[in-house]
């Protein structure tokens, strides 16, 4: 019988099976940030186990609130910083070099097809875009991962999403994943891996695939996984060219992780994107979605472009294309947080930052900040924000504030009109 991508990765990394269905896997990469890792570090210290299994396999960043905004966040940053120095973790990213973890780590080429990846962060599923098994975990698992380089998982079942058709104008990976979550619901993929297939996905850039996999957790998915292909190899080539004689050789190696044609799935779901339109959420759950054209008038106080979902260069280019030569509505505060310093710099060199500034946007340093309502754009009670992020829970971006999730194009169009707006007329 054939295997899914997750099954192949599980088999190749299996250390032991302590109970039927529970598999302890060897980890290729342990990712860390300053919100959840300090709790694990403090506990390891307390237990006399301040060690790391392999500093070269641990990558760490201060990204959620940076520069620190108060004593609490400064202490969290310091704990992570001191720990990284103490254990000679070379891939540690601090002020000047730091960006949103799920954008920064892939940009550095840390994630490869077939990898097992954990992080104390729910959007770790993003890295599945590379054909990896990447999962968010809690503090205990993180401690074990840091100490021993292993993690226990339940053998996941997999849902195959066969996504076909050409994306219509104004429709992007964000619309596709919002549509999928709307269709299966916020628990639709609980304890399941979401494996994405089909010509729509094959045609997507790595950035778009990351947007797609990023929101797997919003449907309860353990990990989103795309099939490694020539696009994956092209993205990784600067990092792997010493390892492989040619791109073809890299592709042949990475293709081993692709699911077999006769793999068995828990469910197979067909998604046709040909009739999709720009989508926005309208409630407090990510499965409450509607075509923008079908939404009632929704005035906005803020528009936020950024995050691990849609703060990459591709996203900034699309938003800038919509905003070029225009001003945002006077009633709206526009905030852009490029996800990494490299993205920021490239946007600067391409002239995108000028477009955003001339449109009236404020540009912040790369950080999560406003996405989780911690800094750089917290909403006041009763305020409404159109956002390219991934969570619209009540109060997510500030107590009593409302968030509507959408693509960068839709967010940009909405900034111009001061209410949720269809981007197609600006493209
Ligand atoms: C701070 C962190 C634990 C959290 C997460 O796990 O997702 C954050 O990144 C978020 O998006 O809410
Ligand atoms: S950008 Fe938002 S969703 Fe992504 S890791 Fe940061 S806080 Fe979490």
Q: Tell me, what CATH number does 405's domain have?
A: 3.30.499.10
- The answer to whether 368 is a known ligand-binding residue is yes
> Model confidence at 270, in pLDDT bands (50, 70, 90)?
very high
Smallest CA separation from ligand 2 atom 2, residue: 371
Q: Per the structure block, which two tokens stand in for 136?
A: 């968010």
Atom of ligand 2 nearest to the CA of 339: 1
Q: What is the mean pLDDT of residues 300-310?
A: 98
Residues 292 and 261 occupy one common structural domain: no
pLDDT at 354: 98
Residue tagged 């529970």 (tokens): 22
371 shares a domain with 251 = no
Protein residue whose Cα sits closest to atom 6 of ligand 2: 368
Are 17 and 40 members of one domain?
yes
Calpha distance 379→300 (Å, rounded): 11
Strand partners, 25: 14, 151
Q: What is the whole-number distance in angstroms between the Cα of residue 36 and the centre of ligand 1?
A: 9
Domain boundary among 216, 247, 270: 270
Give the whole-angstrom CA distance, residue 33 versus residue 121. 8
Q: Are 298 and 242 in a shared domain? A: no
Regarding whether 295 and 173 lie in a shared domain, the answer is no
371 known ligand binder: yes
Q: Is 337 helix (H, G, I), strand (E, B) or coil?
A: strand
- Asked if 118 and 137 touch (Cβ cutoff 8 Å), the reply is yes
Phi-psi region of 174 (alpha: psi -120 to 50; beta: other; left: phi over 0): alpha
Residues 255 and 301 in one domain: no
Residue 307 near ligand 2, beta carbon < 6 Å:
yes
Q: Over the stretch 217-269, which tens digit does the pLDDT of each residue have?
A: 999 999 999 999 999 999 999 999 999 999 999 999 999 999 999 999 999 99
Give the residue among 57, 103, 111 at the shortest CA–CA distance from 257. Answer: 111
Percentage of the chain surpassing pLDDT 90?
Answer: 99
Is pLDDT above 90 for 1? Answer: no
77 and 213, same domain (yes or no): yes
Residue nearest to atom 6 of ligand 1 (CA): 121
The stretch 33-62 carries a mean pLDDT of: 98
Give the length of the chain.
Answer: 427
User: Domain count of the chain?
Assistant: 2
What is the per-residue DSSP string for 22-45? Answer: EEEEE-SEEEEETTTHHHHHHHHH
372 with 259, same domain?
no
Residue 332 has pLDDT above 90, yes or no: yes
Last residue within a domain, chosen from 244, 270, 296: 270
Q: Which domain holds residue 301?
A: 279-426
| 328, 303 contact by CB (below 8 A) | yes
Average pLDDT in the chain? 98
Q: Do 382 and 264 sit in the same domain of this protein?
A: no
Which of the 8 DSSP states describes residue 299?
A: B
What's the rounded Cα separation, in Å, for the pair 404 and 420? Answer: 9
* 251 CA to centre of ligand 1 in angstroms: 33
For residues 289 and 175, membership in a common domain is answered with no
pLDDT value, residue 143: 98
Residue where a domain terminates, one of 241, 270, 299: 270
Query: How far apart, in Å, are the Cα atoms of 14 and each of 3, 21, 26, 360?
Result: 15, 12, 6, 52
263 shares its domain with 339? no
Q: What is the pTM of this model?
A: 0.98
Residues 284, 266 share a domain: no
């Amino acid at each position: 019988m054939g295997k899914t991508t997750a099954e192949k990765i599980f088999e190749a990394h299996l250390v032991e099976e302590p109970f039927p269905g529970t598999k302890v896997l060897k980890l290729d990469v342990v990712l860390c940030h300053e919100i959840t890792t300090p709790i694990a570090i403090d506990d390891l210290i307390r237990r006399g186990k301040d060690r790391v299994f392999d500093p070269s396999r641990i990558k760490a960043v201060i990204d959620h609130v940076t520069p620190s905004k108060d004593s609490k966040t400064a202490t969290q940053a310091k704990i992570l910083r001191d720990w990284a120095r103490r254990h000679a973790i070379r891939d540690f990213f601090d002020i000047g070099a730091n960006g949103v973890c799920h954008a920064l780590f892939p940009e550095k080429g840390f994630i490869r097809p077939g990898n097992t990846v954990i992080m104390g962060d729910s959007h770790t599923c993003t890295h599945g875009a590379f054909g990896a098994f990447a999962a968010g975990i809690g503090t205990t698992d993180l401690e074990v991962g840091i100490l021993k380089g292993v993690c226990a998982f339940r053998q996941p079942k997999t849902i195959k999403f066969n996504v076909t058709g050409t994306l219509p104008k104004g429709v992007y990976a964000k619309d596709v994943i919002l549509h999928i979550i709307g269709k299966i619901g916020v628990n639709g993929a609980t304890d399941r891996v979401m494996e994405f297939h089909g010509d729509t996905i094959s045609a997507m850039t790595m950035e778009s695939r990351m947007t797609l996999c990023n929101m797997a957790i919003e449907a309860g998915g353990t990990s989103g996984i795309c099939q490694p292909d020539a696009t994956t190899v092209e993205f990784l080539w600067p990092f792997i060219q010493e390892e492989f004689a040619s791109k073809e050789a890299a592709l042949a190696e990475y293709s081993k992780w692709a699911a077999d044609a006769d793999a068995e799935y828990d469910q197979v779901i067909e998604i046709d994107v040909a009739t999709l339109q720009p989508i926005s959420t309208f409630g407090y759950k990510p499965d409450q979605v509607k075509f923008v054209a079908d939404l009632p008038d929704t005035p906005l106080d803020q528009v936020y472009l950024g995050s691990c979902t849609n703060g990459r260069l591709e996203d900034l280019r699309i938003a800038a294309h919509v905003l070029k030569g225009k001003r945002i509505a006077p009633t709206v505060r526009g905030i852009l947080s490029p996800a990494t310093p490299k993205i920021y710099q490239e946007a600067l060199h391409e002239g995108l930052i000028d477009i955003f500034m001339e449109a009236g946007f404020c540009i912040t340093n790369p950080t999560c900040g406003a996405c989780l309502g911690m800094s750089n754009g917290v909403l006041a009670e009763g305020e409404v924000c159109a956002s390219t992020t991934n969570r619209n829970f009540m109060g997510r971006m500030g107590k009593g504030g409302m968030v509507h999730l959408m693509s960068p194009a839709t967010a940009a169009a909405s900034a111009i009109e001061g209410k949720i707006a269809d981007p197609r007329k600006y493209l």
